Amino acid sequence: MDRNSIIGLLLILGILIGYSYLNQPSAEQIAERKHISDSIAAVKIQQEIEAKSKMASLDTIVKVATLDSQALQARFGEISQKFFGEEKEFTLKNEDVEITISNKGARVNKAHLLKYLRADTSQNRELILFDKNDANDYFVFNTKNDAFYTNKVYWDLVKSDKSSLTFKLNFDADSYIETSYKLDDKGYGVNQQFSMVNMEQYIQPNSLLTYYREVEVPKQELKAETERTKSTIYYRYLDEKPDYISETKYKSETLKAQVQWVSFTQQFFNTTVILKEGFLKDGEITVDSAKNQLDDIKHYKAQLDLPFENRSNEVFNLRYYFGPNHYKTLKKEEIELEDIIPLGWTLFRWVNSFLVIPTFNFLSKYINNYGIIILLLTIFIKMLLLPLVYKSYLSTAKMRLLKPELDEIKEKNKGDMAKVQMETMSLYKKAGVSPMGGCLPMVLQFPILIAMFTFFPSSFELRQQPFLWASDLSRYDSIFNFPGGFSLPFYGDHVSLFTLLMTASTIIYTRLNNQLTAAGTQMKIISYVMPIMFLGFFNNYPAALSYYYFLANMITFGQQAIFKRFVDEDKLHKQIAESKKKKVNLKKSSFQKRLEDYAKKRGIDPYTGKRK
């Protein structure tokens, strides 16, 4: 392996390690997380105290309502009777999702995704995004006497069919609140229309209408800690790119502008509330630690103010998405909701969005086996990169042919690096060889290499898809689990076979390159250390990623064999010799000019390398 290849691989290693480091909490972040968690807990206690104090009069009235219903009616009028009732649940269902809506609060109590299962086989495997024990959402506004919470009262069901439900809350004969839910014919979207009719006399002037949502996110995947590091709240300000709270932080954040949507995301699923015209600024979102660390991931809260003006007839059209983080499905919402899928920084995201994902989706139309799809995707990408790989091979071959002359220059000018550089550059130019010819093609491949590194861990399509010995391509493939909870530092508690195959193929590839390029001892050691580091690094990553890199190595072996068979090195040597006879183009690059200026200052002829 030549110097340029080593530089390229070191850059890859640096990017991968840096990417992993940036996504892992440091000791300071862990301490900060604990501090923030403690602070949030303290704030929660204070908020609960304030809320209890604020609602004390209401709670007191509700408790004595059976003894003194007149007091309750005096405070809330005819609506007071709705504080008591029997909870009933109603369902809306299509082929993808079943949602349960309760008459208490007229809210969605449960979202059940029908086509997917929980990864944990020790419990009920139905994939429930949330139920009434996990989540609560409601609207709040101020009446003339007290704050009114829509989840405290029992609503009347006034209309229902197979795809929609309408609930109504009458304050008097002409004043009421009405809310209706309509489930999409297919997919995961639910539209809610919330209407307030002739409510001015009941609502306090300048009152806000606030939507609250709170959820204790249940674990869906095999390991809670892995899912926790990939879960957070995303949001999008109107006409801006989506943003998010760091996955490694527990914090509250004030929304500084109108926000179009807020998404409570998990590793592969999300619950999103959308108001296309935008909620008012100064809302608040919170990511907190889960109360039950074994069964739940995180605790999310959102407080969002609607553009309420207390007119005689106001209607708000909200939309909810209860479903998977599937790129194509999210993109159909046309609000950049697909950006909640972590596909890497801008350049890498473009590669994934415009090359990898379209190719992946095209292949999945005709092939059901995702292991075969990854194989074909790898072949396609390697064919796409073939011109760059071929150019890199030719450059390496030329450098190898020039190595005896380069060694002679180094031997002749021991201790004079400036002279070695000048003679080396002169030789390169006469031979028509670019020292960057091998490195540059590798650098140009980086966007695709890193794009694949971000694509596979985020690809919902791979979730629970088996291939060969891997039961789920979206997580590591274990052929052996260490007993008794034993775990090796930097490696883990299991052995991934695809990672072993990837590492073995990388070592073989490295050995072949070292033989071809006659690399120095130090460079050889570095080139063998890297695959060993990859062994620990990739052991806990999805099987699909290691499988892809293994396939890429095997295809590279084939390409190298073909190149070696059809590239005539004797002919290449003659071409270099002919280039040396031609007149050298005197046009200098800025880099070469700087070297020449440096040489002149030291009294060296930049063309001959001899001292003046």
What domains are defined for the chain? 3-21+349-579 (no CATH), 85-342 (2.70.98.90), 582-612 (no CATH)
Low-confidence stretches of the chain (pLDDT < 50) are 1-2, 4-5, 8, 19, 21-23, 27-67, 584, 586, 607-608
Instruction: Give residue 356's identity as a one-letter amino acid code.
Output: V
State the pairing for strand pair 269-279/126-130: unpaired
Taking the C-alpha atoms of residue 86 and residue 83, their distance in angstroms, rounded to an integer, is 10
Of 336, 348, 116, the C-alpha closest to 244 is 336
What pLDDT is stored for residue 54 in this prediction? 41
247 Cα distance to chain centroid: 10
Phi, psi angles (nearest 5°) of residue 406: -65, -40
Please say whether the beta carbons of 114 and 99 come within 8 A.
no
The three-state DSSP-derived secondary structure of 193-227 is EEEEECCCCCECCCCCEEEEEEEEEECCCCCHHHH
Q: Which two tokens mark 159?
A: 């209309």
DSSP 18-68: HHHHHTS--HHHHHHHHHHHHHHHHHHHHHHHHHHHHTHHHHHHHHTTTT-
What pLDDT is stored for residue 61 in this prediction? 41
Q: In 413-458, where does DSSP find H-type helix? A: 417-431, 439-458
What pLDDT is stored for residue 482 in this prediction? 86
What integer best gives the mean pLDDT of the chain? Answer: 80
All residues at 6 or more sequence positions from 261 whose CB lies less than 8 Å from its CB, including other chains: 235, 236, 272, 273, 274, 275, 335, 337
Taking the C-alpha atoms of residue 552 and residue 389, their distance in angstroms, rounded to an integer, is 12
Please say whether the beta carbons of 181 and 192 come within 8 A.
yes
* Torsion angle in degrees (nearest 10) through CA of 214, 219, 223, 228: -20
Please say whether the beta carbons of 419 and 605 come within 8 A.
no
Residue with tokens 């979206």: 474
Of 192, 222, 102, 100, the C-alpha closest to 152 is 102
**Model pTM?**
0.77
Taking the C-alpha atoms of residue 469 and residue 478, their distance in angstroms, rounded to an integer, is 8
- Whole-angstrom CA distances from 415 to 427, 435, 463 are 19, 22, 59
Taking the C-alpha atoms of residue 197 and residue 344, their distance in angstroms, rounded to an integer, is 47
What pLDDT is stored for residue 273 in this prediction? 96
Residue with tokens 């020039």: 402
Taking the C-alpha atoms of residue 531 and residue 554, their distance in angstroms, rounded to an integer, is 15
Burial (Cβ within 10 Å: 0-12, 13-18, ≥19) of residue 583: exposed
Q: What DSSP state is assigned to residue 492?
A: B
What pLDDT is stored for residue 78 in this prediction? 73
Tell whether the torsion through CA atoms of 23, 29, 31 and 35 is positive or negative: negative
All residues at 6 or more sequence positions from 26 whose CB lies less than 8 Å from its CB, including other chains: none
Instruction: Give residue 225's identity as a one-letter amino acid code.
Output: E
